[in-house]
Amino acid sequence: MLAAGGFESNIEWLREAWGRNERGEWPADNFLIRGTRFNQGVLLKHLLDDHGADRIGDPTQAHMVAIDARAPLYDGGICTRIDCVSLGVVVNREARRFYDEGEDFWPKRYAIWGRLVAQQPGQVGYSIIDSKAIGRFMPPVFPGVKADTLPELALQLGLDVETFMRTLQDYNAACRVGSFDHTQLDACHTEGVLPAKTHWARPIDTAPFYGYALKPGITFTYLGLRTDDTAAVRFGGVPSDNLFVAGEMMAGNVLGKGYTAGVGMSIGTAFGRIAGTNAARAALQQGVEQHAGA
Ligand SMILES: Cc1cc2nc3c(=O)[nH]c(=O)nc-3n(C[C@H](O)[C@H](O)[C@H](O)COP(=O)(O)OP(=O)(O)OC[C@H]3O[C@@H](n4cnc5c(N)ncnc54)[C@H](O)[C@@H]3O)c2cc1C
């Protein structure tokens, strides 16, 4: 029974999968791994390359979170996640916004922000909030950069002040504030700015201001072994009668892109039980056959 996780800790494999981007960068060089360093995908590669097991999923697709750029390369865990994205704006290294920060509830969107940051120059982003956001999100382990004015914040973050101020002024002027409610897809939205912010759009205007540098934090990869409801590994479309797989090694079966909170553990739990039951049944059957043959 195989349950050795994805290949998210294998930077070389991620590098190969992501390749170079149009700016000549290797995006995977700037990824941080949120969990163990031991998920190198050794067994996954062995099954795919050496045994020709059937595969499913895109090797570049993964659960990827925007995490604090100061997080360690491995094992940063949950406390380095930056959860204030939907309460403010996110800009790239050029001080420009690049995606709707209020598209949907945070548990439905947090796992795409790592990928969005991975597509930006230098694979870096900056989450910007003002004091109205404080107390409304899980505080990360490292404090944010704090400033009393927006130009000062841009300076501290190393961003071009003029572009940053234009981005923030355009955004602030575009906010159509209704009744703010972070527990609902509320009516606070922008008009006349691209990209739009479709919910929870309030001007960033109340000091002190905070900024967090973001990097892509990879939680687990989606490339996996193709299987079915028996959790059997398949070779040339034929299910194995004694090799079963569970968890991230077959998660690509379920997740195309994006995420729903809790699915990671659910995949491991549900398919772990199925794979374990079927592996025990296969072992029992093999034992019966061996006994009958003796
Ligand atoms: C920071 C973080 C937060 C998360 N939060 C959530 C959450 O809130 N909800 C949720 O549902 N999911 C969450 N997940 C995802 C969840 O932890 C995984 O989806 C789940 O653990 C996958 O289970 P698995 O058994 O497939 O792999 P893993 O739990 O990764 O286990 C794989 C094991 O195999 C071992 N291994 C790897 N290669 C080899 C080898 N060659 N030989 C022997 N052993 C090997 C590894 O050391 C590891 O112990 C989170 C993950 C991280 C990193």
Residue pLDDT, tens place only, 259-277: 777 888 998 999 999 999 9
- Within the chain, residue ranges assigned H as helices are 11-18, 42-45, 106-118, 150-157, 161-174, 263-293
- At 79, list the tokens: 């406390």
How far is 223 from 14, CA to CA, in rounded Å?
Answer: 11
How far is 79 from 84, CA to CA, in rounded Å?
Answer: 13
User: In what helix (H) or strand (E) does residue 67 lie, and over which residues does it extend?
Assistant: strand 62-68
Name which residue sits closest to atom 36 of ligand 1, judged by CA. 4
Name which residue sits closest to atom 42 of ligand 1, judged by CA. 4
CA distances (Å), origin 25, targets 20, 21, 22, 28, 114:
5, 5, 7, 9, 16
Q: Residues 21, 52: contact at Cβ < 8 Å?
A: no
Residues of the chain with CATH 3.90.700.10: 90-215
Asked if residue 216 has a cis previous peptide bond (ω within 30° of 0), the answer is no
The preferred substitution site among 37, 40, 138, 248 for testing ligand 1, maximizing ligand atoms within 8 Å of CB, is 248
How far is 67 from 214, CA to CA, in rounded Å?
Answer: 5
Residue 92: what pLDDT? 98
Tell me: pLDDT of 257 over 80. no
Mean pLDDT value across residues 35-58:
96
Place 253 in a pLDDT band, splitting at 50, 70 and 90.
Answer: low
Task: Tell how far the Cα of 5 is from the centroid of ligand 1, in angstroms.
Answer: 6
3-state helix/strand/coil string of 108-164: HHHHHHHHHHHCCHHHCEEEEEEHHHCCCCCCCCCCCEEECCHHHHHHHHCCCHHHH
pTM of the model: 0.92
Pocket residues for ligand 1 (CB within 6 Å)?
Answer: 3-5, 34-36, 38-39, 42-43, 77-78, 219-220, 247-248, 262-265, 268
Tell me: pLDDT of 114 over 80. yes
Pick from 160, 156, 202: nearest CA to 177: 202
Pick from 195, 204, 93, 190: nearest CA to 150: 204
Lowest-confidence pick of 49-58, 107-116, 173-182, 276-285: 107-116
Burial of 122 (0-12, 13-18, 19+ CB in 10 A): middle
- At 113, list the tokens: 């922000």
**Following DSSP, what letter does each residue of 199-221 receive, concatenated?**
SS-----SSSEEEEEEEEEEEEE
Burial of 15 (0-12, 13-18, 19+ CB in 10 A): middle
Mean pLDDT value across residues 89-102:
98
The preferred substitution site among 38, 46, 227 for testing ligand 1, maximizing ligand atoms within 8 Å of CB, is 38
Q: Maximum Cα–Cα distance for the chain, whole Å?
A: 83
**Average pLDDT of the chain, as a whole number:** 94
Q: What is the pLDDT of residues 168-216, one digit of tens each?
A: 999 999 999 889 999 999 999 999 999 999 999 999 999 999 999 999 9
Through-space distance between the first and last CA atoms of the chain, rounded to whole angstroms? 26
Assigned fold of 90-215 = Flavocytochrome C3; Chain A, domain 1 (3.90.700)
Name which residue sits closest to atom 18 of ligand 1, judged by CA. 264
Single-letter amino acid code for the residue at 142:
F
